[in-house]
Amino acid sequence: MEIGEKIKFLRQQNHLTQEELGDRCELSKGFISMLERDQTSPSIATLKDILEALGTNLADFFDDTEQEKVVFGGDDYAVKEDRELQYETCWLIPNAQKNEMEPILVTIAPGGRTYPDNPHEGEEIGYVLSGSIVIHIGKSAYKARKGQSFLIKPDKPHFIANEGDKEAKILWISSPPSF
């Protein structure tokens, strides 16, 4: 981003007109306009005055580190559907495999099940958002329904099945990422 563009962004963010910013810095509206269009450059002293009027400083103004994204929505999600096993996996955080945990939303149709997962390190927790499921771990099976949670220590093959007659949705988190 160019200096002028950044100044314009900050000015608009502070709900100031070019004239109001100019008045606060003892500069003309024309100078602010030319500055925002990168048709002139301010001295360091003038830039400091402008930034002070905009509530920032030189260090923060020139800090180009991108803020880490915190909130994610539909455009960020990646979805994979397995028609044969009748389930869908939705990754809720992009590139979550680089984090310490990986949250997914799993939707299983009646009669469907997830792909069997082989033993691996870490732990998996889940919360049943709707429907009911059967968690298969090794040769054991455990039922869970809406409002219940589960913990899997994945030292045995495991998968989740929907043996009910309604769609099941599970918030499932693996640490470290394994999906």
CATH number, position 33: 1.10.260.40
pLDDT value of position 7: 94
**pTM score of the predicted model:** 0.63
pLDDT value of position 134: 98
CB 65 within 8 A of CB 145: no
User: Are both 19 and 82 inside the same structural domain?
Assistant: no
- State which residues form the domain around 122: 74-175
The answer to the question of residue 68 being in a domain is no
More confident residue, 74 or 137: 137
Among 157, 156, 178, smallest CA distance to 104 is for: 178
pLDDT value of position 145: 97
Asked if residue 119 has pLDDT above 60, the reply is yes
Phi, psi torsion values for 97, nearest 5 degrees: -60, -15
**Alpha-carbon separation of residue 177 from 75, 97, 107 (angstroms):** 21, 5, 19
pLDDT value of position 178: 75
Q: What is the CATH number of the domain that holds 88?
A: 2.60.120.10
Phi, psi torsion values for 44, nearest 5 degrees: -60, -40
pLDDT digits (tens, 9 = 90+) for 18-56: 999 999 999 999 999 999 999 999 999 999 999 999 999
- Dist CA 16 CA 61 (whole Å): 18
User: Are both 31 and 109 inside the same structural domain?
Assistant: no
